[in-house]
Amino acid sequence: MARKNSSKTIATVKRKTKSKPSNIKPNKTKSSAKNYLGFEKKQLIDVLKMMVRSREIDMKAMRLLKQGKTFFHIAAEGHEAVQMAVGLHLDPKKDWLFPYYRDLGTVLMAGTTPEEVFLGTFAKATDPASGGKQLPVHWGMTNAQLPSQSSPTGTQFLQAVGTALASKRKGIRNISYVSSGEGTTSQGEFHEAVNWASRERLPVLFMIQNNRYAISVPVEHQTAGKGGSVAAMMSGFNTLFRLKIDGTDFFESYKKIKEAIDYIKSGKGPALIEAEVVRLQSHSSSDDQKKYRKDEELEKDKLNDPIEKFEDVLQGEELLTESDYEKIKEEIKNEIDEAADKAFNASDPEADEAEKYVYDESGYKESLDYETVEPSGQKIVLVDAVNHALHEEMKKNKDMYIFGEDIADKKGGVFTATKGLSTNFGDDRVFNSPLAEASILGVANGMALAGLKPVVEIQFGDYIWPAFQQMKNETAAMRYRSNNSWATPVVVRVAVGGYIHGGLCHSQNIESIYAHVPGIYIAYPSNAADAKGLLKTACRLKDPVLFCEHKGLYRQSFAITPEPDDNYLIPFGKAKVAKVGTDITVVSYGVSMWDSLFAAKRLEEEFEYSVEVIDLRTIIPLDEETIFNSVKKTNKVIVIHEDTLTGGFGAEIVARISDSCFQYLDGPIKRIAAKDTHIPYSPILENNVLPSRQKIYEDIKNLIEF
């Protein structure tokens, strides 16, 4: 069936949209005959065919799995009616779609073909969703505004808010559709998304398909809303239009979705529809619902089968005969068998495809002009260099947006790194976010999917952890899991580091944990010129960047440099030899690099020892060439950083040196790092935990004399 591109092709009875949110109790009886009026016979038959198509795909996928030809499937059986209704109202070329794994009918209506579904089922190279990199039913399209979806429940909600915010900023009138089951509404990111969308009256349609079970957990053990209702639970959001509908009834679903969309398009706010549906199959092919659901409950759900209800109405109105229905089912079964066979015989991915598209491979990064001149402007502190870089890049890129906690004027950030930006570029492009780190990253991901360049601030590295889900499973993975079809090149600026008496939660270093996440670049500048050059590069790259700014260096005198001009870029993956030497190599970054440099100068003055100090500048990519060349020259190496010893990034550097330079070493590879404890508040205690200049001096000296 060809998808209807607009609900305008279907005549409907006009209803006055209510200006205030409301709940509609679902009617679990059969759809009445009068409800079909307004649809042409062919349209209704096409809807039935698409429902049957969705059901037959599910049945075929389960048969294939039992035959050992596939590994996993999640069925949409029982959800088809509301998904057909959604599909008739949305334009996938204009509206944004964030369907969840049980949204098969929705993606079919958006234009995904049965063959494409099975290309994903068989993990084929031509699978348009992921090229075989993701589980089946993790939807993605390249010819529609349907970005690659992933497994974590609820991450898609904030991304939908991000695309809606981008639409609003661009002046585009469209809708961001996002769906899930009722269990996912227990996730904090769902509530954060509803809060942001409601506060800014964004065009988001939240579709909750409530089949009463989150795997095995019934809704009454999951949801605090009255009667297990998600719509009731969300009653506090006064701009949110709420409806509770019978999602097994196509006609009711169609009408109520139109009400919600009319409300959204009025500009009054987002809408949430709780569609009560039935789950006719187990949660997934890995589950057996008979272990936790009674037979009588399962039989009762079968009586509410949305396809059978719809078919009954068509037969009751003499639009369809039993033989017509059997013929439709037989034709579609043959169609699905043929699509599955064709997909099964498609090409498998090549093994080396497993490593492709972790990062942008277009060559763009390599095409930029780096370090074309020496910084020669007025001397500047690091925090002002960051501020100037942001101002310059905002002027160059009208699609760049900056947001975070307290970043707008008159505050301008807790460290003043963003001062003047909202004044100069307006509150639409520079604005305060809610105090919710997951929201910051999730919305940024959505904005990036919509073609904008979000540069966000996390106030302290210590508080980045609520955003880790978004960064690890969404920001970092988007390009890879979509096989290069979608990307989220978000820049995340974050203040890190100790030596400021900030205690446990204002002193953390985070680079080693994020270095373990493929798909994110990590910068860690130690001076003003490098901070400006690296940040400007980060703002232009097509990959995500974690930009670590040591707050102890923000206004530190020894980190002051002449300011580079507005064309100054520094490449990621190119370390700097801060001091040339021949007796030993010191590899470091951040504050520890400066402590190493001071120790090196002292050793040179006192003993004429020649110490080479390498400033990494970026953790990912790591400049192995500069490190290895230095070690081969000096034959001794020590790695120094502020993070804890165990699991610190220094261990990775040491391992690589051991692999590639072992034969050149005249002594053991040493590490200096913080002790394996938290950072205490007392200066006496803090000084005992973090690497000191004296210890760095002594350990370098001891290794030279080894």
Distance CA 23, CA 344 (A): 46
Q: Are 225 and 194 in contact (CB under 8 A)?
A: no
CA distance 347 to 558: 58
Q: What are phi and psi of 647, to 5 degrees?
A: 80, 0
Nearest of 201, 222, 226 to residue 211 by alpha carbon: 222
Catalytic residue from among 506, 550, 641, 678 = 506
Strands 521-523 and 545-550: what pairing?
Answer: parallel
Does the active-site annotation cover 506?
Answer: yes
Q: Which residues are registered as beta bridge partners of 584?
A: 611
Collapsing DSSP states into helix, strand and coil, what is residue 638?
Answer: strand
Dist CA 654 CA 651 (whole Å) = 5
Supply the DSSP string of 676-692, one letter for each residue.
Answer: SS---SSHHHHHHHSPP
What the block records as the tokens of 331 is: 């034709």
Is-contact 268 239, C-beta < 8 A? yes
| 227 exposure class (CB count in 10 Å sphere: 0-12, 13-18, 19+) | exposed
- Parallel, antiparallel, or unpaired: how do β-strands 521-523 and 217-218 relate? unpaired
Cα 481 to Cα 150, 487, 703, distances in angstroms = 8, 10, 45
R_g over Cα of the chain: 29
Query: Taking Cα atoms as reference points, which of 217, 495, 269 lies closest to residue 382?
Result: 495
Q: What is the residue whose two structure tokens read 């068989």?
A: 122
- Classify the phi-psi angles of 180: left when phi > 0, otherwise alpha if psi is within -120 to 50, otherwise beta: beta
Contact between 410 and 432 (Cβ < 8 Å): no
- Residues taking part in catalysis: 506
